[in-house]
Amino acid sequence: MLAGGVGGARFLLGLRAAAPEARISVVGNTGDDVTLFGLRICPDLDTLMYTLGGGIDSDRGWGRTDESFTVRAELAAYGDARTWFGLGDRDLSTHLLRTEWLGHGIGLAEVTRRLCGRWQPGVELLPMTEAPVETHVALADGRRVHFQEWWIRLRAAIPATAFTLRGADAAVPAPGVLAALEAADLVLLPPSNPVVSIGTILTVPGIRDAVAAKPVVGLSPIVGGAPVRGMADACLAAMGVATTAQAVGRHYGADLLDGWLVDSVDADAQVPDVAVRAVPLLMHDLAATTAMARAALDLAAELTAGAGAQRAR
Amino acid sequence: MLAGGVGGARFLLGLRAAAPEARISVVGNTGDDVTLFGLRICPDLDTLMYTLGGGIDSDRGWGRTDESFTVRAELAAYGDARTWFGLGDRDLSTHLLRTEWLGHGIGLAEVTRRLCGRWQPGVELLPMTEAPVETHVALADGRRVHFQEWWIRLRAAIPATAFTLRGADAAVPAPGVLAALEAADLVLLPPSNPVVSIGTILTVPGIRDAVAAKPVVGLSPIVGGAPVRGMADACLAAMGVATTAQAVGRHYGADLLDGWLVDSVDADAQVPDVAVRAVPLLMHDLAATTAMARAALDLAAELTAGAGAQRAR
């Protein structure tokens, strides 16, 4: 599975429940990563790790449960203006260890593995790359800012005109990523942001081809013309993609997708040369999320059987 | 003034009160500095800054008031064994900013000045050097450890045989240090640890000569044969110096000292060619500490007048 933050993490809870025997590898987006206060912060990897490890603040969707913000308040008392970033005290320990290990020359894949030693996410969690890539956003007012600044500080209120993954040219997939994709029976695209999460992962040279070589089933993050969570509409607008389940399916396209799951309200969506199925796509609770994951696995099984039948024909 | 941590900081509260018009520069020990969790931590500079800025935990003598230890608990949950170091959440903000600024190539003197912008200590606080020196301790069991590990983790329970300031050879005084010493009418040695605080500062090439060229009055950290606070006895033993006010005065010696203040119980102390005076030397409260500082200034004035009289003769 490829995954961004909250949407991918919640879907994984359902996938783990739907396929308890499956060996699941997750390639996480690192385009949102940012260096703040000298700390290397990987929001999506941490959201995945905390969610699967039972440490997430489920209401907020990000950060640690029972979180406090003492350090942030003290930084503000020093006059630091970067307190728009939600740096919690518990969360901080993760960034401290990660930054220290990276500083010792340990790669982000191994760093993530060590951090997961505490959280036991039950999946193999891999960064998409160990290169220090960062998504930057070109704004309608001419500025270029780090994705986190646009997303959190500006709340995506200023329209974006383009997204660039800085450092992507020199990036290679992190150790384990291509091997996991090659070993996969199936690649799932969860209802993560199709532009700045899934789209960013696919920007890393080599990953798109490795994904496209496998049966791929995606789940729409757009339900009834609006993002289920977050501000995917603001990202899609910059790409000239409508905020509909059909448009996102066509944006991924048949080059990438074999199956596309949309919500029941979007049952009329059509994507050329892609099998579209409609099921409830709201992750209200674990039962609903597990049913979604099962529907994705069922669609994949159906397509694989069909492909086998086609080959047999 | 040269200063270590708690003793120097408390004495400065009295000195500020005793001489409100004086321009006070403080050369702080950085031999205790340590890099932990990737953070550059300067315990003595911080103790001075927090104490003079009203942010110190006065009962403990170090760290911030109303401190919490959430981050430390989380680091322990990751299996980190370095939690013997008292890393508080409020305190952490100081280390984060310092480490980030140092990483940007800003020197420790300027970093300290910026941090003091919040604390307004009322004195010029200077690190003894910007070089990354660290006091290491040779132990009787053959090990060599960082001073903090000996002092905090081992509680100085294993005898020390020698102290080395690693990096001292290549160190130069921090910007402002020699200028402050040259401009000084008087240098005070507060009742800080004579070995690992004052002794360490004097190890930085150039500082001892600049200090010795001035009238110097010291205050004994030993009262009645025991350190007022801390474990100076364990440090003095390694140097072959007895734990008495007289022995410490002789250890500094007439090359460095002009006057030596000892506690009333040590009134019989004698240091060749140094004027010894006995006054109460316990820093119970601000009034007592202010009286101590006034006694040191009085002794300095007396010696300066005497020197003037000698010259006039």
pLDDT along chain B (313 residues), means of 10: 96 97 97 94 97 93 93 96 90 97 97 98 98 94 93 91 92 98 98 96 97 98 91 91 97 97 98 98 95 98 81 54
Place of tokens 């892609």: A274
Give me the sign of the Cα torsion angle B119, B107, B6, B182.
negative
Q: Identify the burial level of B240 via C-beta atoms within 10 angstroms of its C-beta, where 0-12 means exposed, 13-18 middle and 19 or more buried.
A: exposed
Show Cβ contacts of residue B233 under 8 Å, excluding neighbours closer than 6 positions. B222, B226, B227, B243
Rg (CA), chain B: 19
Taking the C-alpha atoms of residue B299 and residue B305, their distance in angstroms, rounded to an integer, is: 10
In tens, the pLDDT along B129-149 reads 999 999 999 999 999 999 999
Rounded distance between C-alpha atoms, residue A45 and residue A56, angstroms: 12
**Pairing relation of β-strands B144-146 and B187-189?**
unpaired
ipTM of the complex: 0.92
Q: Do B100 and A68 touch (CB under 8 A)?
A: no
B25, B184 Cβ separation under 8 angstroms = yes
- Give the chain B residue whose CA is nearest to the CA of A69: B89
Provide the β-strand partners of residue A35. Answer: A40
pLDDT on residue B309: 64
Q: Which of A126, A163, A157, A167 is nearest to A144 (CA)?
A: A163
- Taking CA atoms, A132 is separated from A2, A102, A127, A152, in Å, by 18, 11, 11, 20
Rounded to an integer, what distance in angstroms lies between the CA atom of residue B234 and that of residue B32?
Answer: 16
CA–CA distance, A155 with A145 (Å, rounded to integer): 12
Domain boundaries, chain A: 186-312
- Hey, are the CB atoms on A68 and B71 less than 8 Å from each other? no
Write B15-19 long-range contacts (CB < 8 A, 24+): B15/B188, B15/B190, B15/B293, B15/B296, B16/B52, B16/B122, B16/B123, B17/B286, B17/B289, B17/B290, B17/B293, B18/B290, B18/B291, B18/B293, B18/B294, B18/B297, B19/B293, B19/B297
Mutate to test the interface with A, among B35, B46, B70 (most CBs of A within 10 A): B70
The span from the CA of B115 to the CA of B97, in Å, is 8
Task: Using CA atoms of A230, A231, A236, A237 in order, give the dihedral in degrees to the nearest 10.
Answer: 170
Q: Do B79 and A117 touch (CB under 8 A)?
A: yes
Pairs of CB atoms within 8 A across A/B: 76
Helices H / strands E in chain B, number of each: 12, 14
Distance of residue A242 Cα from the nearest chain B Cα, in angstroms: 42
Chain B residues 88-127 with CB within 8 Å of chain A = 89-90, 92-94, 96-97, 99-100, 103, 115, 117-118
- Determine, for residues B77 and A93 on separate chains, whether the beta-carbon distance falls below 8 Å: yes
A170/B contact by beta carbon, under 8 A: no
- Give me the pLDDT at residue B202, please: 97
Cα–Cα distances in angstroms (integers) from residue A301 to residues A27, A186, A307, in the given order:
22, 9, 10
Amino acid at A136: H
Q: Tens of pLDDT along chain A (313 residues)?
A: 999 999 999 999 999 999 999 999 999 999 999 999 999 999 999 999 999 999 999 888 889 999 999 999 999 999 998 888 889 999 999 999 999 999 999 999 999 999 999 999 999 999 999 999 999 999 999 999 999 999 999 999 999 999 999 999 999 999 999 999 999 999 999 999 999 999 999 999 999 999 999 999 999 999 999 998 888 999 999 999 999 999 999 999 999 999 999 999 999 999 999 999 999 998 999 999 999 999 999 999 999 887 766 655 4
Contact residues on chain B for A94, CB-CB shorter than 8 A = 74, 78
| Listed residue (A59, A30, A60, A58) closest to A46, CA to CA | A30
Q: What's the pLDDT score for residue A78?
A: 97
Would you call A307 helix, strand, or coil by DSSP?
A: helix
CB A197 within 8 A of CB A5: yes
Q: Decide yes or no: CATH 3.40.50.2300 for domain A186-312.
A: no
- Nearest neighbour of B97 by CB, restricted to A78, A89, A92: A78
SS3 content of chain B, % helix, strand, coil (to 5): 40, 20, 40
CA-based nearest residue to A188, from A115, A281, A264, A258: A258
B78 and A70 in contact by Cβ < 8 A?
no
* Residue A138 vs residues A42, A134, B38: alpha-carbon distances, Å: 21, 13, 33
Structure tokens at B271: 């240091």
User: What integer pLDDT is reported at residue B308 of this predicted model?
Assistant: 65
List CB contacts (< 8 A) between A77 and chain B.
93, 118
Please tell me the distance in Å from A69's CA to the nearest CA on chain B.
9
